[in-house]
Structure 1
Amino acid sequence: MAMRKLIKSIVIMQLLLLLHTEELFSQQDPQFTNYMYNTIVINPAYAGSRDVLSILALYRAQWVGFDGAPVTASVSAHSPLDNSNLGWGISIINDEIGPSVEQTLSADFSYKITFSNLSKLAFGFKATANLLNVDYTKLSIYDPSDPLLQNNVDNRFTPNFGAGFYWYADDYYFGVSIPNFLETKFYDDNTRSSLAKSSMDYYIMGGYVFVLSDSLQFKPAFLAKVISGSPLQTDVTANFLFFEKLTLGGAYRINGAVSALAGFQLSNAVFLGYSYDTEASNLANYNSGSHEIFLRFELFKSQAKIYSPRFF
């Protein structure tokens, strides 16, 4: 009960912070509105937490109509290992922004501890391989005589690793993770000037499921992202689940976007989701919003696993 009260308090505090935060932020890693379904890409401790083989494919087109805007596609899978406290996961992300294309392959491993109140605490480790390509000829201001733009970046490889923990039960969850411990700088071979930099990000997440009736559940959730030298980025989401089939909700990203979310359980194994973001800043004048669609497929161990008050 103490843990449930703690998670509930954290969620409420995050909602209140929205009324008082004015800071702007910049995007570094791929951004997802449906982070509560795509948790494995940012927290390795999530691996195996759904007690089934869970496969998710997601596509995001951000700031549609804005030239060079981010387009992200990801595929992930994770599952517990039978008769053990271990879990595994794998994810592939392709992220395109302007002239750059970044591909990331990650392998995740987790170990969970079950407590007497049936809550579980999982610790996770992530190993990542990253490839970066930059084609300067795609820039509208491309100048072939510029010494900084003489050579494209081709398949620049960098390794990384991360870790996290995830505490969860049927009606709440809380997690902290650092997907990339190593700060990576990409350099031009000739000038040795920095072309891109990847810094350490900290993610804090939480959610609580309120059972309002036999046919209605309400889940507020949050995701906070801390980047060294940048303002705090926070997403707050509120989803309603009707008859364990239809999910409807909304989200707000501080000084970033307002979102509408929808999902439908097509069958016991298949869930389809969609979200639309409209910018809450001056950037709204230069694009027609962001679209995100995903499909989750799960192989259930037993009928008892099909329906659960936990929808995260």
Structure 2
Amino acid sequence: MNTHYNLKRFLLPALFTTICWQSAFAQREVLYEQYVQNPMAINPGFTGVREDFNMTAVFRRKWFNIRNSPSSQTFAADGTVANGKFGIGFQALNDQTSYFTTTGFSASFAYHLGISDEWKLGLGAQGGINVLPVADQSGYIGNNRALGTFGIGAWLRSEQLYIGVSKPELLAQNLGNQPAVSVYRRPLYIMAGGSYDVGDEILMLPHVLFVQEKERKLRFDLGTRFWFSEKVGIGASYRMGGGYTGLSSKVDYLQLSAEVQVGRNVRLGYFYSTRTAEQIYASYTGPKGIHELMLKFVPNPKGFQKY
């Protein structure tokens, strides 16, 4: 009886601690993986690139047919001031992928300067907090704790091409012996892409993303979107690599997208991924895919928003 009791006393806190931290730090991954719809999620240098003030909300759910299944909500807004010289933005995330709920808030700022007749450079920084449940060294999960976050990025662009380099998380948190130490990796992102007219009223938006993270193999994504008459958009992106160094773990997955421009101000979107960002850290049973619904609102658009 004592042995059974001691095992329960040791294993249960350890299990819940691991779930808690995996949920908390997968929180940022949820936001990062929405970079196609919201490049500001991984690069503050993008803040204000679209110039028009715009708002994007994404609702994410794992299983629509299971009550209280894991879900998250994200919101992002950005625009420019001072005749386009400065970009300001805000992002928020509420994520519930286990018994615990974590939230995050960040604000971003970018300075945009023209370096030639065709090219502009955005230099940005972002900062905020992540509020998440914290476990002590014995494994007991106590009150929520606010941890700071800070990142920087640069976004070079012309009418047809862009390249971005960013570190959305620079701070090294003092987490002691917590399981989060192994997943708190402060990624480096390098992204490039462009826009090309490939036919009558057909716009192609290809992109490639390289991600380097601590103790993980190089990951790269390839994808493209097509817009037809600036009304309907479809796309696909394949994410490859990123497994732990020296291990054969794979995190490859496919994301499909469909978007519709409803009038001048509103865009609706649906996205399906064949696996979730959280599966990098933990095993899940049941369906592996994730569904996302997007609502984008631009109060006073000057033209079609490609990105």
Range of TM-score over shorter length: 0.7 to 0.9
**Residue of structure 2 equivalent to 1:199:** 185
**Residue of structure 2 equivalent to 1:30:** 29
Q: Tell me: CA distance 1:33–1:248, structure 2 relative to 1, closer, same or farther (3 Å).
A: farther
**Residue of structure 2 equivalent to 1:152:** 141
**Residue of structure 1 equivalent to 2:262:** 266
Which stretch shifts more, 54-63 or 283-292?
283-292
**Residue of structure 2 equivalent to 1:186:** 175
2: CA distance, partners of 1:224 / 1:125? 20
**Residue of structure 1 equivalent to 2:73:** 73
1: CA distance, partners of 2:58 / 2:257? 14
2: CA distance, partners of 1:67 / 1:225? 34
Q: Tell me: CA distance 1:65–1:288, structure 2 relative to 1, closer, same or farther (3 Å).
A: farther
- Tell me if the contact between 2:27 and 2:95 (Cα under 8 Å) persists in the aligned partners: no
1:225 Cα deviation from its structure 2 partner: 2.0
Report the TM-score when normalising by structure 2.
Answer: 0.77
2: CA distance, partners of 1:204 / 1:67? 38
Report the TM-score when normalising by structure 1.
Answer: 0.75
- Tell me if the contact between 1:45 and 1:164 (Cα under 8 Å) persists in the aligned partners: yes
**Residue of structure 2 equivalent to 1:41:** 41
- Tell me if the contact between 2:34 and 2:41 (Cα under 8 Å) persists in the aligned partners: no
Q: Tell me: CA distance 1:59–1:30, structure 2 relative to 1, closer, same or farther (3 Å).
A: farther
- Tell me if the contact between 1:65 and 1:288 (Cα under 8 Å) persists in the aligned partners: no
- Tell me if the contact between 1:66 and 1:286 (Cα under 8 Å) persists in the aligned partners: no
Q: Secondary structure at the match of 1:58?
A: strand
**Residue of structure 2 equivalent to 1:275:** 271
Q: Tell me: CA distance 1:248–1:168, structure 2 relative to 1, closer, same or farther (3 Å).
A: same
1:27 Cα deviation from its structure 2 partner: 6.1
Query: What is the aligned counterpart of 1:172 among 161, 171, 196?
Result: 161
- Tell me if the contact between 1:122 and 1:167 (Cα under 8 Å) persists in the aligned partners: yes
2: CA distance, partners of 1:83 / 1:217? 28
1:56 Cα deviation from its structure 2 partner: 0.6
Q: Tell me: CA distance 1:256–1:71, structure 2 relative to 1, closer, same or farther (3 Å).
A: farther
2: CA distance, partners of 1:290 / 1:88? 30
1:68 Cα deviation from its structure 2 partner: 10
1:69 Cα deviation from its structure 2 partner: 8.1
Partner amino acid, structure 1, of 2:28: D
- Tell me if the contact between 1:132 and 1:153 (Cα under 8 Å) persists in the aligned partners: no
Q: Deviations over 1:106-132 (max 9, x none)?
A: 010000111333321100011121111
The alignment of Structure 1 onto Structure 2 pairs a total of residues equal to 265
**Residue of structure 2 equivalent to 1:114:** 114
1:34 Cα deviation from its structure 2 partner: 4.2
Partner amino acid, structure 1, of 2:230: E
Q: Deviations over 1:52-87 (max 9, x none)?
A: 101111122347789998633211111100325111
Q: Deviations over 1:157-191 (max 9, x none)?
A: 1112110000112222210111110122435xxxx
2: CA distance, partners of 1:49 / 1:87? 7
Q: Tell me: CA distance 1:27–1:67, structure 2 relative to 1, closer, same or farther (3 Å).
A: farther
Query: Gaps (5+ residues) in structure 2?
Result: 1-24, 241-250
2: CA distance, partners of 1:65 / 1:98? 17
Query: Gaps (5+ residues) in structure 1?
Result: 1-25, 137-146, 188-192
Q: Tell me: CA distance 1:117–1:86, structure 2 relative to 1, closer, same or farther (3 Å).
A: same
Q: Secondary structure at the match of 1:37?
A: coil
Which stretch shifts more, 207-216 or 91-100?
91-100
1:102 Cα deviation from its structure 2 partner: 2.2
**Residue of structure 2 equivalent to 1:217:** 203
1: CA distance, partners of 2:47 / 2:125? 10
- Tell me if the contact between 1:61 and 1:290 (Cα under 8 Å) persists in the aligned partners: yes
**Residue of structure 2 equivalent to 1:247:** 233
Q: Does 1:311 align with 2:306?
A: yes
Which stretch shifts more, 92-101 or 47-56?
92-101
Q: Tell me: CA distance 1:115–1:299, structure 2 relative to 1, closer, same or farther (3 Å).
A: farther
**Residue of structure 1 equivalent to 2:298:** 298
Percent identity between the aligned chains? 27
Aligned alpha-carbon RMSD (Å): 3.0
1: CA distance, partners of 2:69 / 2:138? 23
**Residue of structure 1 equivalent to 2:223:** 237
2: CA distance, partners of 1:225 / 1:65? 33
